[in-house]
A and B are shown apart, each in its own frame.
Chain A
Amino acid sequence: MSSDGNQADVDAGRRRLLSAVGAAGIAGLAGCGGRQSANTGEQTPEPTATEQSTDGEVNQEGKPLDSALTVAQWAVPSESQYNVYNSKNDAEARRVMFDRLLYYNLSSQEYEGYAVSDWEFSGDAIDLTVRDDYTWHDGDEVTARDLEIQLKLDMYTGGSLADYVSDISEAVSTSGDKTARMEFESEVNRDVVLAFIQPKRFRTKESVYGEYLDAIESASSEDARSEAIADLQEFSDTEPIGNGPFQWEDADSQRTLVTKYEDHPDADSINFPEMEYRYLESNQKRWSALQNGQTDGSATLFMPENQLNQLPDSVRVGLIPRHWGMGLVFDLEHDDFGQRAVRQAVAHVVNREDVAANAAAGTESKLGVEIPSGLTGAFSGNVKDVWLDGVADDFDDYSFGESGTDAAATLLEDAGYEKQDGTWTNTETGEPLEAPIKGPAGFTDWVAGAETIVAQLKEFGIESELIAKESSTYWGQDYANGNFVIGLQGWANYDQSYPYFHFDWMYRSSDATEYWNVPETFEEVPSRDGNGASTVTPSEQISALSRADEAEAAELIQELAWVTNQTLPTVPVMEKLAQTFLTSDEWNVPPRNSEKLQTYWPTEWLPRRGDWTAKRE
């Protein structure tokens, strides 16, 4: 189920994993996901579940052994609501009640149609065609107008696509019942547009949300518009009309019940009548729920080795790259950590492999970042073999796999620090170099990793301590007020794999500019060929990347990766794989190492594709 957790095994696992992926060969810029064999700890291939048919036909005969597929949810079911623009309690049952616009295939790294069955770029516009025979749960046809409302409301409420259009109200139009067209201000990077559109869930039925869009668009003043937007964000949709394969049935204090919607185009792939979302509000409860069979699966859940060992044999664990992980963010206006050399010294001292191993708690779900450059996908070799193909050796790996204390000492000495009585001290001010690290106590894997970082910094002579705060206090007060010297934060853009999003997050997001104080320009960035240095404005390069064609994009990505590697506005520490859980006692599910598991949210996609079906009596 998992390796036995010592360091050597983790390393071996990683190498095995990388070589396997390397042999398979990863090519193509488009999808940029990652793939890797599901769980490398499992050596013997597992027989595919007996009733899993290969021709796509799902057995609907007899009675299902378990009538409801049960998974967990975080929000209290009776307090859940399903208006995506209202940030509160948008509960997990949305995953089966609403369809995503597109499917992203992690294995082939390609987009596939779903609620939007077809799309076409033409010049600086994209045409999106809504799937055929596709209805809302009240029987109404899903139309292009619904899609228009979705795209516009997204932009009015802060969606990033708004950056690429001149006037939101004009940007989306419909032609006929099924096709919506979105026009951009100028040529755009198609990967960026698709990456924005793909994860969106189709939620806006015209009869429910149309009035909100009308109110926003007919607002006479900015204030009136803000008010209309606020109205939308306060609307609580407790009994939603969805368009997915399951429809809302009931919610009480303990569970949300959704029942199969027979008219969904994928209804034939599903052979069980219900799905149940149980209220399990802590990881610990979810662990025991899987161990004693209360839930039938979990899309993503961190489970340490000792708990994995307690799972029954019928539970299968897969690993899915998340293109995300913990990093160190700094107050870049801080006297010490505003200096590039000090951040580089920190990167050298921190042994990122050790940190990842401790954070992973005996599992293979974390990997130390080998080349800190803002690029993700190290699990599948994407960083070296795709994005930095041929130039990876130019990049600084900041003593990967060790504590590079010598390199760090040189950097600090050159920057005007001196080691006095075992502590690095600023020679000018006489102040010791202090590195308090704040983090959310609830992110336990991060806490375990940060404890390791603190120990390594202390060992080196930087006065460091971990200040772990209650998660909401940390995110709401310390982090959001920029009240930290070093903070823990994801260094990449969650749920995205294309590098544009990570650079955008690091240099242009409100987090970067407001909380980390990332400067607009970076001076004296060494050039890649080793000759001289120049002033760089990453945000301009990122803008260019959002509008670049494929060849330009590849070049720009390398440029930005280089700038990030040299300036380290954040120090990427580790990248994570999500653990995903499926049970095979009452369900036909793909084997552990199946590529079918390589999708974000398997609990959402596998049933739709007939790959998670009930065993029948």
Chain B
Amino acid sequence: MSRTDDSPRTDGGTVSDFDAVANEQVGAADRRREWVEEHLLAPGRVLWSDWRARIAVTVLTGYLLMGTVAWVSAAEWGPTIVPRPSPNQGPALVGAFRTLEFPLGTTFSGHSILSQVVHATPAMLKMIGAGAVFTVVVGATLGTVAGYKGGRVDDVVMTLVDVALTIPGLPLIIVLAGALTDSLQGNPYVIGVLLSINAWAGLSRAVRSQVLTLRGAEYVEASRVMGLGTGTVLRRDVLPNLMPYVTMNFVKQARAVIYGSVGLYFLGVLPYNAVNWGVMMNNANSQAGAVSSPAAFHWLAVPMVTVILLSLSLTLLAQSGDRLFNPRVRARHVSHTSDAPAGVNVDRDGTDRTDDEPPGADPEPDPARREEP
């Protein structure tokens, strides 16, 4: 049942290939189940088998939950689970863990710190997500294309990268923040992208060098020889090998956006108009000198812990993500429950093929792939 056979009957076998395929046919529902199995459950199990991931996922779920709570509370249709922060919600400067009404304490103006932390979450997550996605998409795409295509494309892209790399990041961000103040207001996505404005360049370079190695690998060459399109080869053969590195960078950039935004809000460089963890810390320091004041320390500590926890869980997730992209590990988890017939694997586009076919973006382990330097 090779794809290259023109006629099902050329080998003179008693059972037609058509029948064989029909017997083994994988229906749409199976494919969906397979997809879920392969893309969600298996990675989930891989992750869960690692203690770091367990902590990270739990904490991150907490943050997502917090964001959801804020979103529901702020929406008109939803119940107010955590009220929006407003001045004079409570008495001034109640300490943390003193009252049930203000479990994390209050600020000088009587804002509930719990309200502030929770309601700052959606914007922070959007900002972090935007910055990290922007970096990874731009960085990995440009790096992969440049490395794989080579030649003029490589020259042009790498020149761009070099330019971006040589511009000092922080001053650039500060200058841009000053110039773009109006469009920055209240738009966490733009701020996220701004904070990552030249972070993609480093990733591009690194990815390119990896691609340069990979493109010479036998299985990639094989794919090329078979006439697969550039896009397909990149998507199936090259990118999966880069994923651990790319994910690490996603997380790294997410952390950089957290620190960057908090730092810049703290310094007052970014204009702000909403509650924000960095702004909270800034207020705690400037309005009450919280660093040196036990009475106001909770005001500084709560957002600080919030930032640290988020950052820590992202780091843990990235560390455990290495296993996630190790095809061998993942495949083992898939095969545990998969009821796909032995020897037949389902490719992404649903075509079935045998083991002797050149490997595509195949969850089956492939020795060649793991031998990269």
Measuring CB to CB, which residues of chain A are less than 8 angstroms from any residue of chain B?
5-6, 283-284, 287-288, 291, 304-307, 309-310, 354, 358, 361-362, 436, 441-442, 444-445, 447-448, 451-452, 455, 459, 465-471, 473, 477
On whether A448 and B268 interact (CB within 8 A), knowing A6-B92, A306-B93, A354-B88, the answer reads no
Q: What are 8 of the A-B contact pairs (CB < 8 Å)?
A: A361-B108, A362-B93, A455-B88, A465-B186, A467-B271, A469-B181, A470-B268, A473-B181
Q: Contact check, B110 vs A287: say whether CB atoms are below 8 A apart.
A: no
A310-B292, A358-B110, A466-B273 known; A5-B287 Cβ under 8 A: no
Contact B87 A287 (CB under 8 A): no
Q: 3 tightest CB-CB pairs across the interface, nearest first?
A: A306-B295, A358-B109, A441-B268
Chain A interface, DSSP helix/strand/loop, else mixed = helix
Contacts of A451 in B (CB 8 A): 87, 109, 111
Most buried by A among B88, B91, B287, B291: B287
Q: How far is the CA of A408 from the CA of B268 in the complex (A)?
A: 34
Expressed in whole angstroms, the minimum distance between the Cβ of B7 and any Cβ of chain A is: 70
Q: For the complex formed, measure the closest distance between the CB of B333 and the CB atoms of chain A, giving whole angstroms.
A: 49
Known: A6-B92, A304-B289, A358-B108. A455 touches B271 (CB 8 A): no
B213 interface contact, C-beta 8 A = no
B199 CB-CB contact with A under 8 Å? no
For the complex, give the distance between the alpha carbons of A451 and B287 in Å.
13
* Contact residue among A287, A305, A452 (Cβ-Cβ distance under 8 Å from B109): A452
Query: Once the chains are docked, how many angstroms separate the CA of A444 from the CA of B295?
Result: 18
Inter-chain CA distance A470–B285, complex, in Å, is 15
Point out residues on B near A: beta carbons under 8 Å.
86-88, 91-93, 108-111, 178, 181, 185-186, 267-269, 271-274, 282-283, 285-289, 291-293, 295-296
When A354-B87, A358-B88 are in contact, do A307 and B288 touch as well, CB less than 8 Å? yes
Q: Which of B92, B185, B272 makes the CB contact (< 8 A) with A362?
A: B92
Contact check, A288 vs B287: say whether CB atoms are below 8 A apart: no
Whether B92 pairs with A448 at a CB distance below 8 angstroms is no
By a CB distance below 8 angstroms, the chain B residues around A284 are 285-286, 289, 291-292
**Cα–Cα distance between A11 and B362 once the two chains are bound (Å):** 74
- A288 x B292 contact (CB < 8 A): yes
Q: Across the interface, which residues of B come within 8 angstroms of A307, CB to CB?
A: 288-289, 292-293
Instruction: Provide the bound-state CA to CA distance between A441 and B286, in Å.
Output: 10
Q: Establish whether residues B93 and A5, one from each chain, have CB atoms under 8 Å apart when the complex forms.
A: yes
Contact of B289 among A288, A358, A448, A466 (CB under 8 A): A288
Write the chain B residue with the least CB distance to A453. Answer: B87
A447 close to B91 (CB less than 8 A): no
Which residues of chain A are within 8 angstroms of B283 by Cβ–Cβ distance? 444, 447-448
Cα of A555 to Cα of B274 in the assembled complex, Å: 46
Q: Give the residue name and chain of the B residue nearest to A452 (CB).
A: B87
Cβ contact within 8 Å between A448 and B271? no
B328 to chain A, nearest CB (A): 52
Instruction: Name the residue on A nearest B282 (C-beta).
Output: A441
Q: Which residues of A contact B87 (CB under 8 A)?
A: 354, 358, 448, 451-452, 455
Kindly identify which residue among A283, A309, A436 contacts B286, using a CB–CB cutoff of 8 Å.
Answer: A283
Distance to closest chain A CB from B232 (angstroms)? 48
- On chain B, the residues within 8 Å of A306 by CB distance are 93, 288-289, 293, 295-296
Q: In the bound complex, how far is the Cα of B177 from the Cα of A469, in angstroms?
A: 11
B296 to A, closest residue via Cβ: A306
Contact B293–A473 (Cβ < 8 Å):
no
| Residues of A contacting B274 in the complex (Cβ-Cβ under 8 angstroms) | 465
B288 to chain A, nearest CB (A): 5
Contacts of A473 in B (CB 8 A): 178, 181, 271
Contacts of B92 on A, CB cut-off 8 Å?
A: 5-6, 305, 358, 361-362
In this complex, the member of B111, B293, B295 whose beta carbon has the largest number of chain A beta carbons within 10 angstroms is B293
Question: Smallest Cβ distance from B63 to chain A, in angstroms?
Answer: 25
B288 touches A304 (CB 8 A): yes
The distance in angstroms between the C-alpha atoms of A6 and B273, with both chains bound, is 27
Q: How far is the CA of A442 from the CA of B283 in the complex (A)?
A: 10
Shortest Cβ distance from A442 into B: residue: B268
Q: Which residues of A contact B271 (CB under 8 A)?
A: 467-470, 473
Closest chain A CB from B91 CB (angstroms): 6
Residues of A within 8 A of B108 (CB): 304, 358, 361-362, 448
In the complex with contacts A361-B288, A473-B178, A452-B293 CB distance below 8 A: no
Expressed in whole angstroms, the Cα–Cα distance for A448 and B93 within the complex equals 13
- Using A305-B92, A447-B287 as known contacts, list a sample of 14 further A-B pairs with CB atoms less than 8 Å apart, ordered by residue number in A: A287-B292, A304-B108, A304-B289, A306-B295, A358-B87, A358-B88, A358-B92, A441-B272, A442-B268, A451-B109, A451-B111, A459-B86, A466-B273, A469-B268
Q: Which residues of A contact B285 (CB under 8 A)?
A: 284
What is the distance, in angstroms, from B260's C-beta to the closest C-beta of chain A? Answer: 16
Cβ contact within 8 Å between A455 and B86? yes
**Min C-beta distance of A438 to chain B, whole Å:** 9
CB distance from B187 to the nearest CB of A (A): 13
- The residue of chain B having its C-beta at the shortest distance from the C-beta of A362 within the complex is B92
Assembled-state Cα–Cα distance A284/B271 (Å)? 22
- Closest approach, in angstroms, between the C-beta of B88 and any C-beta of chain A? 6
Tell me, in angstroms, the Cα distance from A361 to B287 when the chains sit together: 8
Q: Are B109 and A448 in contact (CB under 8 A)?
A: yes
Bound together, the chains give a CA A447 to CA B282 distance in angstroms of 12
- Shortest B181–chain A CB gap in Å is 7
Roughly how many angstroms separate A284 CA and B110 CA in the complex, as a whole number? 21
Q: Complex Cα distance A467/B268, Å?
A: 11
Q: Which residues of B contact A447 (CB under 8 A)?
A: 283, 287
Question: Which residues on the A side are within 8 Å of B272 (C-beta)?
Answer: 441, 467-468
When C-beta atoms are compared, the residue in chain B nearest to A284 turns out to be B289
